[in-house]
Amino acid sequence: EADIYQTPRYLVIGTGKKITLECSQTMGHDKMYWYQQDPGMELHLIHYSYGVNSTEKGDLSSESTVSRIRTEHFPLTLESARPSHTSQYLCASSESSGATWGYTFGSGTRLTVV
């Protein structure tokens, strides 16, 4: 049973459209992350949050934005989708401090921009 949920699972959308990828977790984790991953390639951190009202950009330059108004919810928004945004987007969460048990990943959203 998944404790971190991403919707939609698949999305095909036209160039220039605004889209929001949803991510919610029920574990009460403070820290949440968005990764981008192309098929067969490595994970790239695009955004992260250490708690409510905290958001930071990751290593990979991204034209997306995120918000963290509630602990459990960390949506990612693309204001104007482009074909270069075609990729898999993975959301993850983790406990906030001390010994860590790793990240829990959602099932991902596979985005195709046509």
Binding stretches for another protein (CB under 8 A): 31, 39-43, 48, 90, 94-108
**d(C-alpha 67, C-alpha 53), whole Å:** 7
C-beta of 40 vs 83, nearer to another protein: 40
C-beta of 2 vs 17, nearer to another protein: 2
**d(C-alpha 65, C-alpha 63), whole Å:** 7
C-beta of 14 vs 102, nearer to another protein: 102
The least CB distance from residue 26 to another protein, in Å, is 17
The least CB distance from residue 88 to another protein, in Å, is 8
C-beta of 13 vs 103, nearer to another protein: 103
User: Which token pair is 41?
Assistant: 């390639």
The least CB distance from residue 80 to another protein, in Å, is 26
User: Which token pair is 114?
Assistant: 């046509």
The least CB distance from residue 39 to another protein, in Å, is 8
With CA atoms as reference, report the closest residue to 29 among 76, 73, 89, 90.
Answer: 73
**Beta-strand pair 109-113/10-13:** parallel
What is the residue whose two structure tokens read 């048990």?
101
